[in-house]
Amino acid sequence: MVSGKAYEGSNALLTSGRTDFWNGPIVDLTNILEPNSNYVVKAYIMYEDGPDSIQMDCMLEKNESHYLKFGSALVEKGVWTELNGRLIVPEDTKTVKLYFETNTESEKNCVDFYIDGVELVKETAHAVRGDIPSLKEIYKDYFTIGFATTVYEASESRQGLMTEQFSSFTIGNELKPDSLLDYEKSISDPKYDDNPQVTFKNVEYLLEFAKKANLPLRGHTLVWHSQTPRWLFTEGYSKGENAPLVSKELMLKRLENYIKNVLSYLQTNYPGVIYCWDVVNEAIEVGDGEPGFYRSKESYWYQIIGPEFVEKAFEYARKYADPEVKLFYNDYNTEQVIKMNAIIDLVQDLKSKGLIDGIGLQSHIGIDSPSIADIENSIRKYAELGLEIHITELDMYLTDNSEEAFAKQASRYKRLFLVLQHLKKQNLANITNVTFWGLSDETSWLNKPSVPNYPLLFDKYLIQKPAFWGVVMHPDIPLN
Ligand code: XIL
């Protein structure tokens, strides 16, 4: 404890002499936290020497062997920064401890840092949801209705709503490469140089939940430029900032083995649970100006393999996926005409080779744009390809929580669902799933402590908002 440095009061806890990124004070909460309860953890962090900014994570150590990240913030040098997260204590917890760590991809980051203002608050629901209609029932003749959740939002107290309302499930983060890749094991033996190793420890809880709840899972996502560590692409899996990238030949092997390792584990241990995969996510970026409008700047996949990485990913996914598993290409801003045409070209080619079953339209939309007419027209266009269509990540960006704004959001959701239902009913588009990107506003990826966002159907207490009544097409919700 040092005095003179503090976020509040006059003291803070100084952590120094660290030799690895995970070093730091740890507090045992085993006898304080109750299993299956939600807690909000808050702390203020500051450091004075080192890089301009560092990523700091809130970490939970469970049963001395599992490490779960449940919150993260970018801390700037010299600025007290709030770090917060929602902590759920899993049922099988024997010991639980809390600590904070520095985390950078490319280097060990052992700066000294101060901690102050640590707070742990148990969450309790403030209102009752009441008896509400079930979305999956309402739409059962048209498409399944899904939601995305990460492990931090999936406590048992929330699982009732999930199973009552939804007939499909997407794991928000924990099936992405940065969550599955096992760095330590991959570098442990040169024989893994073309065979990236994976671990399922971060995703186990959600897989078990999906299995137990009988909720079919959309796999998200195998190949993406984001949430994929750079070391996957470097010689010797080096984390060095300027470490050279591997050859195309080696990268194709790593790609094939990654897909093989992920699919074989899941299909062996959770047979039938995953019914489709977003094989490739966000490969098109018009602004990068490449032929075919492939994303190049941020994509090591493209930089090393070239445009062929998309087809190869689908080829390997087809090779290793169980035959009934559907393969999807997934992207955002899919109503924008140039992007749409690029996606259609790419998908058409995959279809002619029998490698794809569907298109995922993320649909992170705003309160005014794109227009519902543009959304409808784009879906009709994609439907001409004769593939299944999933709306994979629906939410509606909204930072105004006034009654009027919520009413407007409800109308827009209603109109959108009328269109989706109509397209399906009239055989104009084979829409088979509509998934919301999150369960409640508070845990939406759009929500920021400094700028709250209200994009979804349920509020922070899991009480339905007007948007929910829009989606159920309640007659009281007007169509603007
Ligand atoms: C988001 C998650 O919701 C966040 O928790 C994470 O920090 C970033 O990724 N398109 C996608 C999703 O395909 O995987 C993204 O999910 C949202 C945009």
Q: Where are the alpha helices (DSSP H) in 270-398?
A: 300-305, 308-320, 337-352, 372-383
Among residues of the chain, what percentage have pLDDT more than 90? 76
- Given 122, 148, 167, the domain boundary residue is 122
Same domain as 165, residue 45: no
362 lines ligand 1 (CB under 6 A): yes
Is there a domain that residue 116 lies in?
A: yes
- For every residue of 18-58, DSSP letters joined together read --STT-S-EEE-TTTSPTT-EEEEEEEEE--SSSSEEEEEE
Same domain as 241, residue 201: yes
Neighbours of 323 (CB within 10 A): 5
In sequence order, the β-bridge partners of residue 446 are: none
Using one digit for the tens of pLDDT, what is the confidence trace for 200-221?
A: 999 999 999 999 999 999 999 9
Using one digit for the tens of pLDDT, what is the confidence trace for 144-163?
A: 999 999 988 888 778 889 99
281 lines ligand 1 (CB under 6 A): yes
Preceding peptide of 370 cis, ω within 30°: yes
**124 — pLDDT class (breaks 50, 70, 90):** low
Same domain as 218, residue 331: yes
228 lines ligand 1 (CB under 6 A): no
CA of 139 to the centre of ligand 1 (A): 26
Positions marked active-site: 282, 331, 393
DSSP 34: P
Same domain as 345, residue 198: yes
C-alpha–C-alpha distance, residues 60 and 68, integer Å: 5
Among protein residues, the one whose CA lies closest to atom 13 of ligand 1: 281
Among protein residues, the one whose CA lies closest to atom 15 of ligand 1: 172
Using one digit for the tens of pLDDT, what is the confidence trace for 40-69?
A: 889 999 999 888 888 888 888 888 888 888
What atom in ligand 1 is closest to the CA of residue 281? 13
Using one digit for the tens of pLDDT, what is the confidence trace for 352-367?
A: 999 999 999 999 999 9
Is there a domain that residue 128 lies in?
A: no
172 lines ligand 1 (CB under 6 A): yes
Same domain as 72, residue 10: yes
CA of 148 to the centre of ligand 1 (A): 10
Let me know: does 278 contact 218? Beta carbons within 8 Å.
yes
Closest CA to 90 of 33, 27, 162, 149: 33
- Given 122, 144, 169, the domain boundary residue is 122
Pocket mutation for ligand 1, best pick of 225, 359, 437, 444 (most atoms within 8 Å of C-beta): 437
Q: Is the pLDDT of residue 105 over 60?
A: no
- Our count of domains for the chain comes to 2
Among protein residues, the one whose CA lies closest to atom 3 of ligand 1: 445
Pocket mutation for ligand 1, best pick of 69, 153, 173, 223 (most atoms within 8 Å of C-beta): 173
Same domain as 232, residue 84: no
Q: Is the pLDDT of residue 274 over 50?
A: yes
Mean pLDDT of 236-247: 97
What atom in ligand 1 is closest to the CA of residue 224? 13
Among 274-288, 316-330, 441-455, the least confident range: 441-455
pLDDT at residue 465, rounded to an integer:
96
Is there a domain that residue 479 lies in?
A: no
Same domain as 262, residue 342: yes
Using one digit for the tens of pLDDT, what is the confidence trace for 2-17?
A: 888 889 888 999 999 9
What atom in ligand 1 is closest to the CA of residue 444? 3
Same domain as 379, residue 351: yes
Is there a domain that residue 130 lies in?
A: no
Q: Structural domain of residue 331, as residue ranges?
A: 135-472
In sequence order, the β-bridge partners of residue 435 are: 146
Phi, psi values for residue 407, rounded to 5°: -65, -40
Same domain as 257, residue 178: yes
Same domain as 404, residue 314: yes
Closest CA to 361 of 387, 391, 385: 391
- Write the Ramachandran bin of 4: left for phi over 0, alpha for psi from -120 to 50, otherwise beta: left
What atom in ligand 1 is closest to the CA of residue 445? 3
pLDDT at residue 107, rounded to an integer:
54
What atom in ligand 1 is closest to the CA of residue 332? 10
CA of 391 to the centre of ligand 1 (A): 15
pLDDT at residue 157, rounded to an integer:
79
Q: Which CATH number do you get for residue 21?
A: 2.60.120.260
Mean pLDDT of 410-428: 98
CA of 172 to the centre of ligand 1 (A): 7
Pocket mutation for ligand 1, best pick of 226, 391, 395, 435 (most atoms within 8 Å of C-beta): 226
Phi, psi values for residue 211, rounded to 5°: -65, -50
CA of 69 to the centre of ligand 1 (A): 16
CA of 72 to the centre of ligand 1 (A): 14
Among protein residues, the one whose CA lies closest to atom 7 of ligand 1: 445
pTM tops 0.75? yes
Is there a domain that residue 127 lies in?
A: no
- Given 69, 92, 122, the domain boundary residue is 122
Mean pLDDT of 454-463: 93
pLDDT at residue 106, rounded to an integer:
45
Among protein residues, the one whose CA lies closest to atom 4 of ligand 1: 445
Dihedral angle at the C-alpha atoms of 320, 326, 327, 332, nearest 10 degrees?
-150
Among protein residues, the one whose CA lies closest to atom 12 of ligand 1: 172
C-alpha–C-alpha distance, residues 274 and 211, integer Å: 10
Same domain as 367, residue 388: yes
Q: Which CATH number do you get for residue 200?
A: 3.20.20.80
CA of 348 to the centre of ligand 1 (A): 26
183 lines ligand 1 (CB under 6 A): no
Closest CA to 340 of 383, 403, 300: 383
Q: Is the pLDDT of residue 342 over 80?
A: yes
Instruction: Determine which helix (DSSP H) or strand (DSSP E) holds 297, and give its type and residue range.
Output: none
Same domain as 436, residue 368: yes
435 lines ligand 1 (CB under 6 A): no
Using one digit for the tens of pLDDT, what is the confidence trace for 282-339?
A: 999 999 999 999 999 999 999 999 999 999 999 999 999 999 999 999 999 999 999 9
**125 — pLDDT class (breaks 50, 70, 90):** low
393 lines ligand 1 (CB under 6 A): yes
